[in-house]
């Protein structure tokens, strides 16, 4: 994929105290990978706020100091999703509402990119709306994204018909027309996963169970949707590559507690308290073992951390209540030194981070509140 020019449009600017909490249109955290590791080994995190988003960036590999907050303007943003490709470029997808010249409310999907850690964004480009009818267009859901191994960006959004719409780049970097992937009863954003071999898979919960779309080959069309009579709680599905060209989907089961599922198998119960939003997920080594780490906000509003062997659900999954209140969905990443880092947005709108301590197991050090 060709690299686009990153001009000065969308450049962050420093903001003063209190800018994160005032009049927020999208409270809590962003959707997706809102804690990212750049090519230079520094972490960045992104939080939606009134009129756009704010960013913090580590000043050195491994921290602990952060610069920010830096404000990036995008008027009318109602939902923000962050996704990152293997090339480390960070992509921002938003659902935007604006008053049109005739006074009617218009909805479109917007996209911007940050190519390098801590530097300017590209301009916010409108990707339009898959619906020509304005009333149907206002029913468009939250966009989610996935970046294929070759850097091709894919944008998925629940549409007014209860199905899934897709807009993606062509190999030349130009955007193709909206595609209808069909489906029914989808009212929450799906979970997407970009597999290392180049394919994408998508899973969405619906009233009838789940739908799964699989790309036939890298850059190819999507098969499906294939329906499965499973019972995830809508809005809780997360996807993670756990084997060569193989995804595991995690969700809160209708009976309560987390579950893991791979195509061709039965869901495996992971226990724990139920989540109402997607799980943050990370695959990493702990004490030399290949592990999956999950995190979510429980019903009491506090963050919970879980860990177990990758594709070894029968070996047990361990959950730990961290006692830290948060808004929205926490985020997980590895820092430039390979340590697990969790980020969350506190009740006051301020982000906090905690890093893995040295030694055996997965223990997080004290929470660090980032400056306003």
Q: Is the pLDDT of residue 187 over 80?
A: yes
Contact 234, 205 (CB under 8 A): yes
Which string of DSSP letters, residue by residue, matches 85-149?
A: -TT--EEEEEEEEEE-TTS-EEEEEEEEEE-STTS-B---EEEE-S-SSHHHHTT----EEEE-T
Quote the CA–CA distance of 33 and 155 in Å, as a whole number. 14
Pull the structure tokens for residue 288: 């030399």
Q: Is the pLDDT of residue 336 over 60?
A: yes
Query: What pLDDT does 28 receive?
Result: 83
Contact 110, 155 (CB under 8 A): no
Pull the structure tokens for residue 266: 């039965």
Supply the pTM of this predicted model. 0.92
What are the strands of the beta sheet with 31-32, ordered from one edge? 31-32, 77-84, 90-99, 105-114, 125-128
Residue range 240-269: average pLDDT? 95
Per residue in 123-178, pLDDT (tens digit) is 999 999 999 999 999 999 999 999 999 999 999 999 999 999 999 999 888 999 99
Dihedral angle of Cα 321, 325, 328, 332, to the nearest 10 degrees = -50
Residue range 52-78: average pLDDT? 96
Q: How confident is residue 256, by pLDDT bands cut at 50, 70 and 90?
A: confident
Q: Is the pLDDT of residue 8 over 60?
A: no
Contact 213, 182 (CB under 8 A): no
Tell me which H or E stretch contains 43.
strand 43-49
The residues, any chain, with a CB within 8 Å of residue 69's CB and separated by 6 or more, are: 14, 15, 19, 20, 47, 54, 55, 56, 370, 371, 372
Q: How confident is residue 27, by pLDDT bands cut at 50, 70 and 90?
A: low
Torsional sign, CA 363, 299, 315, 241: negative
Query: What pLDDT does 372 receive?
Result: 66
Per residue in 344-372, pLDDT (tens digit) is 999 999 999 999 999 999 999 999 999 76
Distances (CA, A) of 16 to 22, 26, 63, 70, 76: 11, 19, 22, 9, 21
């Amino acid at each position: 994929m060709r690299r686009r020019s990153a001009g000065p449009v969308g450049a962050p600017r420093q903001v003063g105290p209190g800018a994160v909490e005032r009049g927020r249109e999208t409270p809590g955290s962003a959707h997706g990978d809102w804690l990212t590791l750049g090519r230079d080994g520094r972490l960045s995190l992104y939080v939606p706020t009134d009129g756009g988003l704010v960013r913090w960036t580590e000043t050195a590999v491994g921290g602990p100091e952060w610069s920010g907050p830096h404000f990036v303007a995008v008027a009318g943003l109602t939902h923000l999703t962050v996704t990152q490709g293997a090339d480390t470029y960070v992509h921002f997808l938003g659902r935007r509402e604006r008053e049109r010249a005739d006074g009617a409310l218009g909805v479109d999907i917007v996209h911007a990119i940050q190519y390098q850690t801590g530097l300017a964004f590209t301009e916010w480009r409108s990707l339009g709306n898959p619906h020509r009818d304005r009333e149907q267009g206002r029913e468009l859901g939250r966009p989610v994204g996935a970046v294929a191994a070759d850097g091709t960006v894919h944008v998925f959004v629940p549409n007014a018909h209860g199905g899934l719409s897709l807009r993606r780049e062509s190999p030349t970097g130009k955007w193709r027309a909206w595609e209808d992937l069909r489906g029914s009863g989808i009212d929450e954003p799906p979970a997407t996963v970009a597999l290392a071999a180049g394919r994408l898979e998508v899973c969405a919960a619906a009233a009838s169970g789940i739908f799964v779309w699989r790309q036939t080959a890298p850059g190819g069309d999507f098969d499906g949707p294939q329906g499965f009579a499973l019972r995830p709680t809508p809005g809780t599905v997360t996807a993670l590559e756990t084997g060569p060209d193989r995804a595991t989907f995690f969700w809160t089961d209708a009976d309560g507690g987390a579950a893991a599922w791979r195509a061709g198998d039965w869901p495996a119960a992971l226990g724990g308290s139920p989540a109402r939003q997607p799980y943050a997920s990370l695959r990493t080594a702990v004490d030399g073992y290949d592990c999956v780490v999950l995190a979510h906000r429980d019903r009491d509003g506090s963050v919970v951390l879980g860990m177990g062997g990758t594709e070894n659900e029968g070996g047990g999954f361990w959950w730990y209540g961290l006692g830290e209140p948060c808004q929205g969905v926490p985020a997980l990443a590895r820092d430039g030194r390979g340590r697990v880092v969790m980020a969350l947005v506190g009740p006051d709108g301020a982000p906090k981070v905690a890093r893995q301590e040295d030694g055996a197991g997965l223990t997080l050090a004290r929470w660090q509140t980032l400056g306003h």
